Amino acid sequence: MHDLPMEITTSNFDVIVMGGGPAGSSVASILAREGRKVVVFEKEKFPRHHIGESLMTDTYFTFERMGILDKLKQSPFVRKYSVQFANPAGKESRPFYFFEANHHESAVTWQVTRAEFDKLLIEHAEEQGATVYQQTLIKQVLFAGERAIGVEAQMADGSRQTFHAKVVIDATGQTAMLSNKFRWRLRDPKLKKAVLYSYFKGAHREPDLNGGATLVLRTELGSNGWFWYIPLENDITSVGIVADPDYLVKGRGQDLAKIFAEEVAKCEPCRRRVEKAERVDKIYSILDYSYRSKHNAGDGFILIGDAYGFLDPIYSSGVLLALKMAELAADAIHEAFANDDFSAIRLGQFQARLDRGIESMRKLVYAFYNEGFSFSRFLQRYPEQRVNLINLLIGNVFQEGVDEIYGPMSEFAEIPSPLYEQIVAQGLSKANGEATEAPEILAAKYLYYDDRAVPSESVNS
């Protein structure tokens, strides 16, 4: 029995999207523009706070397909031209300008206040023809046998309704509704971090192009940590520390503001940038694990965005990957309709290609956390790798040959094997969901997917 009014109605759509963050709104915009009948369910009322403010430049191409570029160009969001690093001694690298590797207008991207950005995206999806229900919580996905056929939603007025569609897209972010249900979530054994962050008014801004840079400021040696420093509109700067939980929070009490202030004081490039600024928000805290789902689809459903996987935020890759997955899912869905085939294999055909891109970024994440690793030292020995490195920092991870950098880089840092292989090799299946599939079966699956033509060259256009 439900304790809320029960009103069962059935509405039919081509595609149901659960979650209206960047992944959900983007796939809804694309599909609606391209002729599908789409409905989005979002449990919150936008605008709502969310972390994940610094975009990578390759988001441009998905924004173009969504038809939202002009709105972004007219927005007050700060323009981002580069990323810059500082080592634990406070020595700052020269900025990595994206236009050094990319001569297109896509070399400039945005730093976004997510409350406003996500609202822009979900309203855009509605303008493109998607039906959007906010303050509507998906209670469960409905299955006929193993095939997803719809959802049960708790509507804003408290009633429960069912909706049916050929495809259900899970874009519920870290809730990861379906990969949790099937116990597909694989945690990265080495990437477990604690995060504290807040917002400052009046913090230091460099002049001109550098004013919009993302800064990655390493904290003291042994902490394995770093601060992000992300300039937003209205003179607000997002400042956050990411570090090993044992270092950052264990045994340091409940006073997060005190811990945060202590860490700022210890990080000279951060300290001097915020010393005259006023903190204008609370301290937010997150325990974050990097993870990926073992599968990206089942019969009648697809997982995209953080609902499929989340990678440590060091290079700001989350929204980019969410948008790329939105495009790949849209292409797979069009093909499924064209063939009247909504099987897991058809819908999930892009997983191998997607995983290769995520793995490219994951290798760079591991390099960063390697004690003593420094991009400056690496580039001193291999200056010809600067453009490859910038390509990765742009998010150009799906390009052939982008992995060439990891040969030379392996002289400086441990470069990991793919997550699934690493987990199977380490026998961590119990702690990591059900990683029981043998590696050779996985390899066969990859080969199978590799043989299939991807319908549109939407990734890395």
Nearer to ligand FAD, 269 or 318 (CB): 318
Residue where the block lists tokens 């391209």: 34
Residue 21 interacts with ligand FAD (CB under 6 A): yes or no: yes
Residue 286 interacts with ligand FAD (CB under 6 A): yes or no: yes
Tell me the closest approach of the beta carbon of residue 377 to ligand FAD, in angstroms: 25
Q: Write out the two tokens for 20.
A: 């209206």
Kindly identify the residues of this chain, within the stretch 39-78, that bind ligand FAD according to CB under 6 A. Answer: 41-44, 50-55
Tell me the closest approach of the beta carbon of residue 389 to ligand FAD, in angstroms: 18
Residue 313 interacts with ligand FAD (CB under 6 A): yes or no: yes
Piece of the chain touching ligand FAD by CB under 6 A; list 35-43, 243-251, 350-358, 369-377: 35-43
Tell me the closest approach of the beta carbon of residue 252 to ligand FAD, in angstroms: 19
Residue 288 interacts with ligand FAD (CB under 6 A): yes or no: yes
Q: How many CB atoms lie within 10 A of CB 136?
A: 22
Q: Region of 330 please: left (phi>0), alpha (psi -120 to 50) or beta.
A: alpha
- Interface with ligand FAD (CB under 6 A), residue total 36
Residue where the block lists tokens 């997002």: 238
**Angle made by CA atoms 397, 399, 405, in degrees to the nearest 5:** 70
Site string for ligand FAD, 130-169 (x = CB under 6 A): -------xx-------------------------------
Nearer to ligand FAD, 51 or 283 (CB): 51
Pick the binder of ligand FAD from 27, 32, 101, 195 (CB under 6 A).
Answer: 195
Q: Are residues 26 and 121 in contact, defined by beta-carbon separation less than 8 angstroms?
A: yes
Q: How far apart are CA 261 and CA 238, in angstroms?
A: 14
Residue 305 interacts with ligand FAD (CB under 6 A): yes or no: yes
Query: DSSP states of 64-123 as a string?
Result: HHHT-HHHHHTS-PEEE-EEEEE-TT-PBPPPEEGGGT--SGGG-EEE--HHHHHHHHHH
Residue where the block lists tokens 């470069």: 415
Pick the binder of ligand FAD from 83, 171, 397, 415 (CB under 6 A).
Answer: 171
Q: Are residues 454 and 349 in contact, defined by beta-carbon separation less than 8 angstroms?
A: yes
- Chain residues that interact with ligand FAD, rule: CB under 6 A: 18-24, 41-44, 50-55, 137-138, 171-173, 175, 177, 195, 286, 288, 305-307, 313, 316, 318-320, 322
